[in-house]
Every structure is written in structure tokens, then in C-alpha cells.
Structure 1
Amino acid sequence: MKKTIILLLTVIAVIFSGCSHTSFSHVTYFLDYKIAGKGLVFITESNSVNFDYEPLGSIIIIERPGVIEKIVPVSETEQRYGDNIYGNPGVTKKVHQYAYASAQSALDYTVESALKMGGDAIINLKVDSYILDNERVVEISGMVVKRNI
């Protein structure tokens, strides 16, 4: 009798443990070079380009998630009534917000850095993403160049 009950419970456990299915799905990520470059920086993943250039240096950007300070507009109600303790807060205020690492924001920062270096193109661009300390990290690398136009 005990063997029959154990066998029955084992069969039931096997049946219920095999019922979960993973749905078929597609995940699409799109990295927009046009938005990041704002028309000021030529971006390509190729290491071969059809223009002459002066190499300025390699660039590596690593973006990790964390708390950022943002300046946001103050609502009309806050502007109108202010704060009883501190007075009228003005039209903007600083807030702290948690930001996840993303390839697009890392690329935007890479473009800003390339412009500060005096470059107007990034060639041989590579984008990588990995998990570090249970958080997604994005790494971008490439060569910043100044086109000879």
C-alpha cells in the first residue's frame, strides 16, 4: 500500500513538474546611430571607411547602472504654493533617480566624448553587454577619428 501511494505521488509530481512551457518569443533591440550622432558624428561598425582621416585615439565607455541626479521641472502647483518651510522652490528641482545601463545612453555618451576629443567619426564601433554583480553593464569601444574633408 505504501509503495502504491509513493508511486502515485511520484507520478503526480512528475506530471505537474513537466507542465511549464517557455513561450516562443523575439526580442529586438535597436541602436540608433543617427540620433546619437545628431548628424555631427559619422558612426560605423566597419574598420574600413572610404575617406581619409586622422586617428585621435581609441575610446572605451563602460556604463553601469546607478543613481543619477536629474534636474526636472517643478509642477505648477509646487511653483504656485511653494513649500511652507523652504519657500518657493523655483522652476526646477534636483531629484535622484535609479538609471539602468542601456546601449543607447552609452552610445550617446560615447559621441559626446568623441566630440570633446575633436573627432567627427567613430569607426570599428563595438557594443557589448554583460552581467556584473547582478546588473547589466554596457561597454562600447571604437576609434575616434577626425575626417579629412
Structure 2
Amino acid sequence: MNSFTIGINDNEQLTLTVLDYERSPVGDFFDDNWLICEVSIRAGAFRGKFRANLLTSELEELHRELRILHDGLQGNYTFEPLEGQLILRISCNNLGHFQINGEAMDQAGIGHRLVFKFSLDQTYLCTALEELSNLIQAFPVRT
């Protein structure tokens, strides 16, 4: 499956699955690089799943910035895609503790909003980084 998961257990977990490119390539960066995704969130007693469109370049940036945080064990990064349906504010301290504050919206601009928070150790990011790398290889940026 073309997905990656961030989280430590079934009660604190975000899974993003890429279903396909939105359309066949036509030679325009934005038209060619939209992905149809499904986002699944488990946050305490709350469960949700919705479709979202993300750009291939946004997933590449997420991978790059997560890798920097993982390797450097310090800093902050905000994943804020163009459509705004999934926002992740990620911070890390020098002990390898990660805090993820997220917002999810089931429809771009007008949807219902879920606010959630996960805490995890850097070791839980290793698998997510590998899965995200595989996802980027399966759906590369089209130029």
C-alpha cells in the first residue's frame, strides 16, 4: 500500500495513503503533481477518514524536514499544504521527544475541523520516514 503512518499506537496515529495522481500529465507542474489522498486519524476516542489533495512536492518537503528533525534532534517544522486540509506542527527537543500538533479539515476551506496532539519518541519516526520515502518513489514529482 502507498501510505505512511506517524504515531505510536492505535489511539494516536495518522495515516496518509496516496491513491493516485489526480490526472494524467499535461506538462503543467501544478496540474501534473496533484495527488488524491486518504487521511486517517486516530486521536483518543476520535476516529476519522477523509480525502485530501496534496502536491507531490509537499510530500517531498515533509520527508526532507522530518529527516532534518530526526537527525538533528532539535527544531520545529510546520507542514501546511496548499489546500490546508492537514496541518502538522512538529517540534523536537534534544532528547528525541517529538510533539505533533495537528489540524485536519474534511473539506478544503469549508470543512469540519479536528484538532489533535501526538507525543512520540524519535525511534517511532524511522518507519514513517522509510514509508514516506517509498511513497515519494512511487509518486515522484513530475517535471
Q: Do they fold alike, i.e. is TM over 0.5?
A: no
Greater RCO structure (CA 8 Å; 6+ sep): 1
TM-score range, shorter chain: under 0.3
The TM-score, its normalising length taken from structure 2, stands at 0.21
The TM-score, its normalising length taken from structure 1, stands at 0.20
